[in-house]
Structure 1
């Protein structure tokens, strides 16, 4: 990719939670919304259940953790492919911690990625090391102001 090359993204967030009286009171409205992007299926969103959200829908915090995990995975798979390491399975049990502040706001304190990777071909040591490079290159990890740690496990296919 050329230095300075720009990429643009667009998403539309539409609130669907008006229950007839709008935001007339804190308990009067649903936090439900839809997230769409051109040519892609809608994601059903809400707030975290701690903030009166629907636990069956994705909340922004879920999506931030998922974005970090997904970005790391995509870089890792690319690097393995480039270096002749054949990945046959990849699962990440990522977690994140958000801290509320006294003024009612908050921020993420950390995210931990825990990818479990199975390889069919290539060296285990090199496959493990590529997680460091994937983390260094990840667009999303490079865009956040909190620590993102990677606790990877790589095993050979039996």
Structure 2
């Protein structure tokens, strides 16, 4: 059986951006895994926030660039979270020579990809709110 080919980079994030934030150079097989995770996270995010599918990465609009930056940050954070905690453990403990090292992860982490409502709100398209102009509270029992 042959190994699947290395996927292309994601729409928002490249594997180089994730590796740069990783702090160490991973093996080529780990880079392939990171590329797959980037695609997984981006697909999940675009499923949760459909307006990201239509975003133009070449746009010169400053608001779009800020939004793209937020999306990139979120995707990289999720990929690194999955990289550091692939089994979705909420607590991990190791003992060696009488020394116990334990690590606790935040609640809700797991092998699946999930986003909090706060994370999704940061990358959602903001709906413009129109001010209330000329409103008058009418009551049907009032005589004009």
Higher percent of residues as strand: 1
TM-score (norm 1): 0.28
Q: Normalising to structure 2: TM-score of the pair? A: 0.30
User: Quick one: higher RCO (CA 8 Å, sep 6+), 1 or 2?
Assistant: 2
The structure richer in helix per residue is 2
